[in-house]
Amino acid sequence: MSIPKSMKEKYDQIAPLISDFCRQHLSGEYETLCLSLLEKLCRKRPSPLLTSRANTWAAGIVYAIAANNFIFDRSQPIHMTAEELSSPFGLAKSTVANKAAEITRMCGIGRFDAQWMLPELVASSPMVWFVEVNGILMDMRDAPVELQIAAYERGFIPYVPALRQNDQVRETGKADPQPAPAPENNSGEPADADPAPPKPEDFSDIYQTFGAE
């Protein structure tokens, strides 16, 4: 963690509010993301944290991260309403939503920016892994490991899927379970399946684009 000395006092005012809320209502993964966002705001010049009260910033940071991770979707394992997010900080939901929108714009937080997503959402979000190569959208999870490494080194993907899967196999002794195949229709094709992006017959153009051998 790198906090400018001039912002240490402000950080120490806001961070406990975030941590207490996340530990009571969210998760350790949420806490890590929220504190990373607080750190980013501390490093801005000038830091916007020098305006407004600590509880307003804490609530806005939590709301921004939570909204970016679909907290309002009841199908998510952790879900809350805007009121439930705001009231523990002693603030109206409109106040917190406005502060969260300001933070989102200021820090360029996007729906498919893996930096601000929970790990489980990063792994399951297709848009994080699609890379356009010579006009073809390719899911880098299907690419050879050396291309995954090259794409990671260029900042196109958040980590190398093949290496992470290998680590999981070593730790657990088995790979993650694969989804069951879709039912087939009379033509022998999977029913109701979304069409996948076309895959190249070979990876020569992609190797050239990424400069990998």
Total of domains in the chain = 2
Residue 124: strand, helix, or coil:
helix
Q: Is residue 148 part of a domain?
A: yes
Verify that 103 and 131 share a domain, yes or no.
no
Q: Is residue 49 part of a domain?
A: yes
Over range 122-126, report the average pLDDT: 65
Q: Please calculate the CA angle 166-119-20 and round it to the nearest 5 degrees.
A: 135
Is the residue at 181 inside a domain? Answer: no
Question: Does residue 183 form part of some domain?
Answer: no
Q: Are residues 60 and 104 in the same domain?
A: yes
Q: Which pLDDT value is given to residue 66?
A: 94
> Which of 83, 99, 118 marks a domain boundary?
118
pTM assigned to the model: 0.64
DSSP H helices, 79-212, are: 82-86, 93-107, 119-124, 126-129, 145-153, 161-172, 204-210
Confidence of residue 120 (pLDDT cuts 50, 70, 90): confident
Residue 9 in any domain: the answer is yes
Spell out where the chain has E strands.
130-133, 136-139
Is the domain of 195 the same as that of 136? yes
Whether residue 17 is predicted with pLDDT greater than 90 in this model: the reply is yes
Phi-psi region of 158 (alpha: psi -120 to 50; beta: other; left: phi over 0): alpha
Six-digit token string for 10: 């402000």
Nearest to 36 by CA among 110, 111, 117: 117
What integer pLDDT is reported at residue 34 of this predicted model? 96
CATH of the domain at 61: 1.10.472.10
134 with 54, same domain: the answer is: no
Q: Specify whether 75 is located in the same domain as 138.
A: no
Domain identity same for 74 and 133: no
Query: Which of 118, 134, 153 marks a domain boundary?
Result: 118
Q: Is the pLDDT of residue 16 over 90?
A: yes
Query: What pLDDT does 122 receive?
Result: 65
Looking at the structure, tell me whether residues 80 and 146 fall in a common domain. Answer: no
Quick check: 167 pLDDT over 90? no
Domain assignment of residue 43, yes or no: yes
> pLDDT-based confidence at 20, cuts 50/70/90?
very high
Residue 23's pLDDT is 96
Q: Across residues 71-78, what is the average pLDDT?
A: 90
Q: Domain check: are 99 and 34 in the same one? A: yes
Collapse the DSSP code of 35 into the 3-class scheme (helix H, G, I; strand E, B; otherwise coil) and give the result.
helix
Over the stretch 76-119, which tens digit does the pLDDT of each residue have? 889 999 999 999 999 999 999 999 999 999 998 877 677 788 87
**Residue 188 clears pLDDT 80, i.e. is over it:** no
Higher pLDDT, 135 or 28: 28
* Domain housing 193: 125-176+189-210
Greater confidence (45 vs 130) lies with: 45
User: Do 20 and 87 sit in the same domain of this protein?
Assistant: yes
pLDDT on residue 53: 94
Residue 182 lies in a domain: no
Same domain, 44 and 87: yes
- By mean pLDDT, which of 69-78, 145-154, 195-204 is the weakest? 195-204
Co-location of 130 and 33 in the same domain: no
Q: 111 and 148: one domain? A: no
